[in-house]
Amino acid sequence: MSDFSMQSYVTAHKSIHLVGIGGVSMSALAELLLHLGATVTGSDRAQSAVTDKLSALGARITYAHLPENVEGADLIIRTAAVHDDNPEIARAHELGIPVVERAQAWGSIMLDYRNAVCVAGTHGKTTTTSMLTLIGMQCGVDPTVMVGSSLAAIGGTLRIGAHDCFIAESCEYTNSFLSFHPTVAVVLNVDADHLDFFKDIDDIIHSFHRFCALVPETGALVVNRDSANAMKAIEGIDRTCITFGTTPEADIYPENVTDRHGYYSFDVMYRGERFTHVDLSVPGHHNMLNALAACGVCVFLGLDPADSAAGLAQFTGSDRRFQLTGRMPNGATVVDDYAHHPTEMAATLKTAREMKYDRIICIFQPHTYSRTVALLPEFVQALSLCDKAILADIYAAREQNTFGVSSKDIADRLDGGEYYDSFEKISARVREIAQPGDLILTMGAGNVYQIGTDLCAQA
């Protein structure tokens, strides 16, 4: 449906059915459609706080995938994980009801906004999108926002604002972001990931190149000059380009950098002139780079430097991004982080090291078998940055273990690495070895955070 227009369905108050309505991005989409005046129905496997909220807003939700759920609908929206053999999709095709992907729906909605800032990259998308959200609110832009993790400042993953600016986290997996319509495309980095979909790093770079080429002539690219792959992705694209990085070779770069136990303060320079001074409220060198990317967007949009800095200072983190879980009874600090790619893991562990804990004990749950096989040496290298690595079973997500890989394969390659086949055994082991002054870091995109919750609950 290349000529698909979400606006035509919304303005006519058509019935729109979302298959998998309880997902992070789908639930945000459903809430926005309800706000815009559409009739919304949906289906999911299980009831949750998210679906309860949507029901209270007027959505009619069925907790099973049944063919009859789509009858009477004018449009079906599905996630990439829902295929043609789904009974609702099969029935929609029988009835001739149009079916579009979630990304297509979001992309069509973006066309109604004067500026669409799409934040892409293998790592840092949620944090940078969140930073830009706080900046936009502080600068009076009144942004509409779609972010991939709960942000306390907006009470979830969606903020409904005016039609001047849309800020959207933009994922490369299954080429979803190629359905978007960015006027500003941010490329934070480009690394090898999602190799269950992409062939290799060149395929990923090509995908980012196509994403950047979507920007109109009046728009801009904001790109990490420190990332060779990101710079390769924009080759041959004739658009306004603002680069950011750690050296003056970039358009946006830091000077007078100070690091107080992992929290960075610095002057933001733009082509040799001071743009503003920033004091970050989230730790890590990688977050200084994320903030510089956000400042690149601010420069292009003409946002006030002082308000931009104030917005950045207000950002204290997103859900599951170096988030404090609590403390164990013995005083050890427990933090959870969503990092599941070696580059992200290394950045998080380096941040933890800067915070001067006595020891870092990392409980890591790999995410998907395909990623574990493809990047096994890199996982070992990243986990070597902690003092003690404890491995949980691989979180399968959408996959079956046809690769013959185990978390033990990582643990066996680490000095002192340990593997346990249950969360209970891991909790018992950590309670045995943890000391006051330690940082216990639960890490991964699955449900590993439950171990941290258990450790803090044990009296």
Catalytic residue numbers?
125-126, 169
In 134-175, the DSSP E strands lie at 144-151, 156-159, 165-169
DSSP lists the bridge partners of residue 204 as none
Instruction: Report the DSSP pairing between strands 273-279 and 438-443.
Output: unpaired
Query: Cα–Cα distance between 374 and 170 in angstroms, integer?
Result: 23
Buried b (16+ CB within 10 A) or exposed e, 364-374: bbbbbbbbbbb
Amino acid at 174: T
For residue 57, the SS3 value is: helix
DSSP lists the bridge partners of residue 184 as 117, 220
Residue 45 CB coordination number (10 Å): 10
Residue 154 CB coordination number (10 Å): 18
Instruction: Report the DSSP pairing between strands 263-270 and 252-260.
Output: antiparallel
Query: Cα–Cα distance between 342 and 344 in angstroms, integer?
Result: 5
Query: Cα–Cα distance between 12 and 154 in angstroms, integer?
Result: 29
